[in-house]
Amino acid sequence: MIPAINYAMSALQASGQRFTVHANNVANVNTPGFKSSRALQSTLPGGGTHISSTQRDFSQGALELTGRPTDFAVDGPGFIPLEGNTFTRNGAFSYDANGDLVTADGLLVEMDEVMEFPNPDGLIDVGGSQFALSEFSGETFPSSSSLISGALENSNVDIAKETVGQILAQRNFEFNLVTIKTADEMMGTLLDLFA
């Protein structure tokens, strides 16, 4: 009975993590330039399961014209450089008191040119729709992507897919709770029989 409980516990944790990834995607469906993620699950040696990694989908979101001169959309795989050697695709900018173009967090936008990475999956998500270089992303290089003023890139979240993913993760969580409860009850019955 103990292995059954351990397997179900690992699946319970994986379901909770998968649900959290789907919930984060849904929460950011209206965040300009947001890139959805998916949880990758794998089997543990000796049984059970876990979330081995979270993979970001860097596919292009739909472009939407806003008419605001401080909004910028990247059309292509590039990223907009920010101060502090971070990068974003969320082009919802504004001017600060000094007349500088800044993000919602107040970071200076360094729009000399749009940049790309050899391996965007290797970027580090530092929050706020911003990414930083890592040894796995490779060094930046100038992008051939277009920068469109007066437009924003919508998130690439597929709301129907994320809702189904949340429901499946929740059902899997509930199923594993029942499995743990049943195994616990069976163990209690066995202990009562042999006591």
In terms of domains, do 125 and 170 share one?
Answer: no
Query: Positive or negative, the Cα torsion across 82, 84, 85, 86?
Result: negative
Indicate whether 163 and 179 sit together in one domain.
yes
Looking at the structure, tell me whether residues 127 and 69 fall in a common domain.
yes
Task: State whether 46 and 99 are in the same domain.
Answer: no
Residues 69 and 11 in one domain: no
Domain of 138, in residue numbers = 63-153
Regarding whether 140 and 85 lie in a shared domain, the answer is: yes
Q: Which tens digit of pLDDT belongs to each residue from 110-160?
A: 988 999 999 999 999 999 899 999 999 999 999 999 999 999 999 999 999
- Give yes or no: residues 70 and 121 share one domain: yes
pLDDT tens digits for range 49-80:
999 999 999 999 999 999 999 999 999 999 99
Residues 147 and 174 in one domain: no
* Total domain count, the chain: 2
Check whether residue 68 and residue 144 sit in a common domain.
Answer: yes
pTM of the predicted protein model: 0.85
